[in-house]
Amino acid sequence: MIDIKFLKENSEKVKENIRKKFQDEKLPLVDQVVELYDQKKDQLMEMERLRADRNRKSAEIGAFMRDGKKEEAEAIKQEVAKYGDTIDVLTKQVEELDAQITKIMMTIPNIIDDSVPIGKDDSENVEIERFGEPLVPNYEIPHHADICEALNGLDKESAGRTSGNGFYYLMGDIARLHSAMISYARDFMIDKGFTYCVPPFMIRSDVVNGVMSFAEMDAMMYKIENEDLYLIGTSEHSMIGKFKGQLIKEEELPLALTSYSPCFRKEVGSHGLEERGLYRVHQFEKQEMVVLCKPEDAMEWYNKMWSYTVEFFRSLDVPVRTLECCSGDLADLKVKSCDVEAWSPRQQKYFEVGSCSTLGDAQARRLSIRAKGENGNYLVSTLNNTVLATPRGLIALIENNYQEDGSILIPKALQPYMGGIEKIEKN
């Protein structure tokens, strides 16, 4: 959410930003919210005038009472009471205007960075750089579900009976490999200087509204029946919510945190082959990184954060590339975002395994997260990035380390977490 004062003073810039995001239907909202803001200012000025008059009249009551002029004092008391009634009406009107302004402001997209490429949707995202050689072996790589099932590592049939479509059982060495990746991702980020955290896996609606758009919430999140609680779709939500309403000492910035959580999402995704596998599922596990910093340091952190994900996957012998998200693919709160995509030798294309975003002060404004500096308080910048989301990350590892005999080589970085074994073989 951008600053209403910024919008009023830069309405044409805000409109141009809306056009860049191909959301022309929101253009009238800019003038509408300015009009509401001006109405609110007028109401507040009238309230201040009435309060001043009421205070002056109240002082007259005391003077008349001291002079024994009770009738005059009673007459003014009635006037003062009318002032109070009018002020109460205006207060209610201001509250209603505030609610209308907030509702509109939460739908107007954040100002994107000048470096963001302009495009309508993800088909116009721009490749930035490749890391590692995307190889295709001279033998066939089966679907990851077939590989896991051949190694007695996946059971979706049983999960269908217990939970329905979009769920799974991981078994044996495949389950162990999955957990090894999560543990390694945790230690990888701790070694980068991030503080490890396990957050709540449910959050209240005011935190949800602070970290994402209404459309995203409806499409993604599961609500707990009869409770003001939602299952998190990513630990970024509860990690940012941790600082809701807080005033942080500037010397404590940056706050660099890495968090583990299970994640829950409504959509199963595409049908066909990928539906029977692990690419789009209702639940997964994730190692996330979240940074709160000074606004001037945000872009430096953004570049460090996506590079950590690249480094993580390269340490697992997985080729990756970075993809700059175009304007139309950016969620409304984001200033700039890039995806990290892993190479799939089976499909001979890249697929998303992580996403890095800087959101400026949008989340901090919604959640009132400020820093106390020498020159006063200011809103912090917030950033988030995926270290590892798995089983999607597991798919990338399996495909890129699959051998012709059906075994999976264990990268050296993971071997200590796998009891020293170097490969998973058919038993």
- Indicate if the pLDDT at residue 59 is higher than 90: no
- Indicate if the pLDDT at residue 270 is higher than 70: no
Q: Which residues contact 259 (CB under 8 A, 6 or more apart)?
A: 196, 197, 198, 199, 235, 236, 238, 239, 287, 288, 289, 290
- For residue 47, name the pLDDT band (cuts at 50, 70, 90): confident
Based on the domain organization, do 184 and 219 belong to the same domain? yes
Q: CA-to-CA distance for 311 and 356, rounded, in angstroms?
A: 14
> What pLDDT, on a 0 to 100 scale, did the predictor assign at position 399?
97
Among 88-92, 228-232, 299-303, 351-355, where is mean pLDDT lowest?
88-92
Q: Are strands 195-197 and 255-264 parallel, antiparallel or unpaired?
A: parallel
- Indicate if the pLDDT at residue 188 is higher than 90: yes
Based on the domain organization, do 370 and 402 belong to the same domain? yes
- Indicate if the pLDDT at residue 115 is higher than 70: yes
> What pLDDT, on a 0 to 100 scale, did the predictor assign at position 69?
74
- Indicate if the pLDDT at residue 103 is higher than 70: yes
Q: Tell me the H-state helices in 315-408.
A: 362-367, 392-400
Q: CA-to-CA distance for 122 and 124, rounded, in angstroms?
A: 5
Mean pLDDT, rounded, for 187-196: 98
Based on the domain organization, do 60 and 139 belong to the same domain? no
> What pLDDT, on a 0 to 100 scale, did the predictor assign at position 124?
96
Please tell me the pTM assigned to this model.
Answer: 0.89
CB-based burial label for 127 (10 Å; 0-12, 13-18, 19+): exposed
Q: CA-to-CA distance for 167 and 157, rounded, in angstroms?
A: 9
Based on the domain organization, do 92 and 167 belong to the same domain? no
Q: Which residues contact 121 (CB under 8 A, 6 or more apart)?
A: 326, 328, 329
- For residue 275, name the pLDDT band (cuts at 50, 70, 90): low
Mean pLDDT, rounded, for 226-241: 93
Q: What is the mean pLDDT of the chain?
A: 91
HSE (side-chain half, CA atoms, 13 Å) at 99: 5
Beta-bridged to residue 261, according to DSSP, are: 286
- For residue 268, name the pLDDT band (cuts at 50, 70, 90): very low
Based on the domain organization, do 46 and 190 belong to the same domain? no
Beta-bridged to residue 260, according to DSSP, are: 287
Percent of the chain with pLDDT over 90: 78
Identify whether the C-beta of residue 130 lies closer than 8 Å to the C-beta of residue 321: yes
Longest dimension (CA), the chain: 107
- For residue 152, name the pLDDT band (cuts at 50, 70, 90): very high
Count of domains for the chain: 2
**More confident position, 79 or 11:** 11
Structure confidence by residue, pLDDT tens digits, 289-329: 999 999 999 999 999 999 999 999 999 999 999 999 999 99
Q: CA-to-CA distance for 241 and 238, rounded, in angstroms?
A: 5
Based on the domain organization, do 167 and 83 belong to the same domain? no
Mean pLDDT, rounded, for 92-112: 93
Identify whether the C-beta of residue 4 lies closer than 8 Å to the C-beta of residue 36: no
Residue at 340 is within a domain: yes
> What pLDDT, on a 0 to 100 scale, did the predictor assign at position 273?
38
Residue 333: closest CA among 112, 126, 121: 112
Token pair, residue 101, equals 């302004």
Q: CA-to-CA distance for 241 and 128, rounded, in angstroms?
A: 32
- Indicate if the pLDDT at residue 271 is higher than 60: no
Based on the domain organization, do 165 and 44 belong to the same domain? no
Among 35-39, 92-96, 214-218, 232-236, where is mean pLDDT lowest?
214-218
- Indicate if the pLDDT at residue 116 is higher than 60: yes
Q: Find the CATH number of the domain harbouring 261.
A: 3.30.930.10
Residue at 330 is within a domain: yes
CB-based burial label for 62 (10 Å; 0-12, 13-18, 19+): exposed
Token pair, residue 261, equals 């959580």
Beta-bridged to residue 97, according to DSSP, are: none
Based on the domain organization, do 214 and 247 belong to the same domain? yes
Identify whether the C-beta of residue 151 lies closer than 8 Å to the C-beta of residue 360: no
Based on the domain organization, do 178 and 98 belong to the same domain? no
Residue at 84 is within a domain: yes
> What pLDDT, on a 0 to 100 scale, did the predictor assign at position 365?
94
Based on the domain organization, do 66 and 180 belong to the same domain? no
Which domain covers residue 47, as residue numbers? 4-105
